[in-house]
Structure 1
């Protein structure tokens, strides 16, 4: 698995061999992320998708990705929609490639428009015809864990849909806290927000907003934020840097998340309604829109007004059964999708077909 050097533990702890490439220098990335709170949502989306993913990440990764492809000679490259160096390398070397979705289809469509200029730069750097990367991105086969219900109207190319492993039905929780008779509300803002100073206050705001509610709160901060930095924690709350979401979901009555793909999909797969606080990335807002559209939750802007509305929003999820029913409908559709292991033969066929086509083209006079 090719990934930035900083992802070494994440990759190897998942059982894969890590093929590293360069990260963008921390000082450059920190400076750009620090600008986001002062930007409009649309401007922030364009910075994150276009400048960070499309240009900085891709160009930092490109030399290492070229070497990895040369050393491994892959038959097929699987890439996520916001990683572009491997797309350029696949086009340059004539390698079959496919996209593994990490969001709803609307996100992939929006990303394709935003990164048009950075993709032209990759074409130039790889000395391939202008427009190559953009065309490849729009026409690549797509594999997605997103159910049709959440994705919205059918589109082309139509994704091959599959499902991850179901949530652990007997997942374990931290040692007991709060009133065990009260419903559990799981709060996660992902792995990035806690490491950014401009977003740290939202954790304290959420804790304060839910402190006097008849619920138990499990809040995870991510490794970028030490729970001790939050100060005193309400009696109904347990704070951890990390806890397996699959272990939490069987016990959760509601989720408060940032609209990240992992939390959003894990909640839906378990049939748990959610409140989404989209913070700084395009996919978070689009995921929030789709969750609301199918009736599986609510969306609030992460500001002071939202914090005042949060207790009532949580009560709505816990008392209005329509949210639970809609989340359960999504969970049922997800459960009917192909298990992940049945995707492997399709990937093999995709690689073989590409090789056959390339061979036939080479032999054509």
Structure 2
């Protein structure tokens, strides 16, 4: 079988595809990945063939992104979904995906849930397609209606056929019930490595602080990291802050004695040792923590993060601390009250064993889902 994988920019969008790409490779299937230029370095480090598609022009994308950062959260999600993913990225990626479908002739197209050019190309060439979840199902469903006028401009009914295509997700059913009629759940194996001993033999519980790859590169990142460090600096814990490569570490100020800062550490290595994750509630971080059975304190900023934080809190696998300072624009920092609330939430989750117990239950539920190889077998077109 030949399987074409398609992603927009951002490792958080590409990573859910990885276990399925690896499963196809292990099965001996033909694999081709199509993605924008910003993912080329990541793709070049892997073994699978790839093609690089287009990127929206800066003079079109820049003004839209500026508006996204200025709007209230719900309005920014609508604009990002409709204009950035729906209109600009679809137009930019469509030529490369049309060419791949026409020349390479895949049997199946698997796309991350915010990449739509592959859906248009697959529909035009009569190829089966399925969407791979990036966010929680209820968040994804809430944005589907925004795409209808954009996608149907490429052909009547494309938006409807996208909404009824198979929906593949790594999140467990008890946390994230799916409104999609055909839902498949899968998991990826956890292979944690050993963290270096950056704390000189201290064995206090490990708290991982992260804002992920998108929020960590925003202008507000340094202020957010300083506030998060302040929140946990006085606790009897070890702290590992991962900032991403877009943050100037010198802007963080003095680092507390119990904390260590790295640009990047493999997520599985950190979570294999962590007792708590304090984060923005991004889907990749939430998924990783729950897969490892680690509870969370989520401080949601924008996009799908408020939904993820609420699901974690409702499941009893952590708590949510909603900032009091408003949307994440350039003037936004966490205030003293937010810092105090994050500290109290971290103390509570570390002290109360029910949070970790519930996270472990979700981890076990996730491990009981299909492997990537089993899922690919179930999706294989039948002649």
Partner of 1:40: 72
Post-superposition offset of 1:157: 1.2
Give the Cα separation in 2 of the matches to 1:15 and 1:230: 37
TM-score (norm. length: structure 2): 0.83
Give the Cα separation in 2 of the matches to 1:30 and 1:293: 37
Give the Cα separation in 2 of the matches to 1:178 and 1:137: 53
Partner of 1:363: none
Give the Cα separation in 1 of the matches to 2:121 and 2:316: 41
Q: Which runs of 4 or more aligned residues in structure 1 lie more than 4 Å from their structure 2 counterparts after TM superposition?
A: none
Tell me if structure 2 keeps the 8 A contact 1:36–1:280. Answer: no
Partner of 2:106: 74
Post-superposition offset of 1:181: 2.6
Residue in structure 2 matching 1:166, options 182, 190, 211: 190
Post-superposition offset of 1:231: 3.2
Partner of 2:321: 300
Tell me if structure 1 keeps the 8 A contact 2:119–2:162. Answer: yes
Post-superposition offset of 1:265: 0.9
TM-score (norm. length: structure 1): 0.87
Residues 263 and 200 (structure 1 numbering): CA distance in 2 closer, same or farther, change over 3 Å? same
SS of residue in 2 equivalent to 1:147: coil
Residue in structure 2 matching 1:287, options 285, 308, 314: 308
Residue in structure 2 matching 1:242, options 264, 267, 290: 264
Tell me if structure 1 keeps the 8 A contact 2:245–2:264. Answer: yes
Map Cα deviations across residues 335-361 of structure 1 (whole Å, 9 max, x no partner). 21122221221122xx23xxx4xxxxx
- 1:1-365 maps to which residues of 2 (within 5 A)? 1-26=33-58, 28-121=60-153, 123=154, 128=155, 130=156, 132-152=157-177, 155-168=179-192, 171-177=193-199, 180-281=202-303, 283-302=304-323, 303-304=334-335, 305-348=337-380, 351-352=381-382, 356=383
As a proportion of its length, which structure holds more helix? 1
Give the RMSD, CA atoms, in angstroms. 1.9
Post-superposition offset of 1:12: 2.7
SS of residue in 1 equivalent to 2:190: coil
Give the Cα separation in 2 of the matches to 1:155 and 1:280: 23
Map Cα deviations across residues 303-324 of structure 1 (whole Å, 9 max, x no partner). 4243231110100110011111
SS of residue in 2 equivalent to 1:222: coil
Map Cα deviations across residues 263-322 of structure 1 (whole Å, 9 max, x no partner). 1111101110001122221x2222112111111011122442432311101001100111
Tell me if structure 1 keeps the 8 A contact 2:164–2:182. Answer: no
Give the Cα separation in 1 of the matches to 2:207 and 2:103: 47
Give the Cα separation in 1 of the matches to 2:372 and 2:241: 30
Unaligned runs of 5+ in 2: 1-32, 324-333
**Which 10-residue stretch deviates more, 60-69 or 173-182?**
173-182
Tell me if structure 2 keeps the 8 A contact 1:167–1:266. Answer: no
Give the Cα separation in 2 of the matches to 1:159 and 1:51: 27
Give the Cα separation in 2 of the matches to 1:17 and 1:60: 20
Tell me if structure 2 keeps the 8 A contact 1:37–1:198. Answer: no
Unaligned runs of 5+ in 1: 357-365
Map Cα deviations across residues 9-38 of structure 1 (whole Å, 9 max, x no partner). 212323322211012234644444344443
SS of residue in 1 equivalent to 2:272: helix
SS of residue in 2 equivalent to 1:224: coil
Aligned length: 340
